[in-house]
Amino acid sequence: MEALSKKLVLALGIVAVITIGVNLTIFLAILPWSISASTSAVPQSSLESPELGLKRNFSPYLGSIQVEQGGKTISVTGIGIAKAKPERALISLSVITQADSAEEAISENAAKMDLVTKALKTMGIAEEQIETFAYSLTPLLDYSDRNSPKITGYTCSNTIRITTMNLNKIGDIIDNAVSAGANHVSSLQFTVSEERLRQLGLEALRNAVKDAESKAKAIASATGVTLTNLFSISVLSYSPNVANYSFESPIPAPTPIAGVLLTPILPPGEVSITVSISAVYEFR
């Protein structure tokens, strides 16, 4: 009986060794195919820059371009500026009224703003060039009794924004609006159209890339190395620099000079957009 048990244990051991060997053989046969399939599952893309003479391969599913360990890089910041003459002006005008009751403040404000908009339309400003920009009704509080402040009146403020392409007409617009009842010039902004602004942004971006490239080449030349690939590039900031003038306090009505109201407004020579980027180059 003891001999039979030993033979049974030996047989089971032989079967186990054979099973392990078969499984190991199957695993080793499948492993290369699995690695190849997982690698090809991530599509590779190529980005070329003929202007820079550089080329890089990357996976669109990765957050950044992958390089071999020990890669050597140069990091630079590029600044690009694009300028243009202003094409239009945005004028923000307000009518501010105060009264004992909210109804009175609103009613007086509406009557004065109606006169302002009519005056603007009379001088050729189209209705679509005038829009309500801000509106508020604020209680005036008496804090003499800190425990129970009292409402003593109301302030109503109605701000409109006028868009004009005629930059020589800005002074006339302000004068006529103030004469009709506007008592606060909130801001005056010189800018360009949305399409022109987009074009300037792209131009500034191209200039920033060229600036980064020239800096990287200068560093490479000074250190005796050669640029090989553009490793990464990212936009750090986008700053439209339009001319914007703000006015904090209400303005008095203009004083007539020989029967003519004069508010000289001189537009700036240029508006600009500044873009900064960060670029990393590989070298050897």
d(CA 120, CA 180): 9
Three-state DSSP state, 115:
helix
Average of per-residue pLDDT across 186-212: 92
Q: Which of 30-34, 43-47, 176-180 has the lowest mean pLDDT?
A: 43-47
Q: Is the full-model pTM beyond 0.85?
A: no
d(CA 284, CA 100): 78
* Closest by CA position to 160, among listed 131, 184, 124: 131
Q: Which amino acid is at 196?
A: R
d(CA 284, CA 279): 17
* Closest by CA position to 74, among listed 177, 218, 191, 262: 218
Determine the pLDDT at residue 274: 94
Determine the pLDDT at residue 45: 32
Of 63-67, 197-201, 250-254, give the range with the top mean pLDDT.
197-201
Determine the pLDDT at residue 265: 75
Average of per-residue pLDDT across 114-137: 95
Cβ contact 155:98 at 8 Å: yes
Q: Is 224 left (phi over 0), alpha (psi -120 to 50) or beta?
A: left
Determine the pLDDT at residue 60: 32
Q: What is the largest CA-CA distance in the chain?
A: 135
Is the pLDDT score of 258 beyond 80?
Answer: no
CB atoms within 10 A of CB 234: 9
The strand pairing partners of 49, in sequence order, are 54
48-68: per-residue pLDDT in tens? Answer: 333 333 333 333 322 333 333
Is the pLDDT score of 39 beyond 50?
Answer: no
Structural tokens at position 14: 């032989």
Cβ contact 112:97 at 8 Å: yes
Cβ contact 80:210 at 8 Å: yes
Name the more confident of 254 and 35: 254
Determine the pLDDT at residue 131: 96
d(CA 158, CA 154): 13
Cβ contact 119:172 at 8 Å: no
Determine the pLDDT at residue 100: 95
Query: Order of strands across the sheet with 73-84?
Result: 73-84, 271-283, 227-241
The secondary structure of 79-123 as a DSSP string is EEEEEE---EEEEEEEEEEEESSHHHHHHHHHHHHHHHHHHHHHT
Q: How confident is the model at residue 136 (pLDDT cuts 50, 70, 90)?
A: very high
The strand pairing partners of 81, in sequence order, are 274
Is the pLDDT score of 29 beyond 70?
Answer: no
The strand pairing partners of 272, in sequence order, are 83, 241
Structural tokens at position 44: 């590779």
d(CA 212, CA 46): 21
Homologous superfamily (CATH) for 88-190: Protein of unknown function (DUF541), domain 2 (3.30.70.2970)
73-107: per-residue pLDDT in tens? Answer: 999 999 999 999 999 999 999 999 999 999 999 99
d(CA 96, CA 156): 6
Q: How confident is the model at residue 32 (pLDDT cuts 50, 70, 90)?
A: very low
Three-state DSSP state, 262:
coil
Is the pLDDT score of 30 beyond 60?
Answer: no
142-179: per-residue pLDDT in tens? Answer: 998 878 889 999 999 999 999 999 998 999 999 999 99
Average of per-residue pLDDT across 176-189: 92
Domain boundaries, the chain: 1-41, 88-190
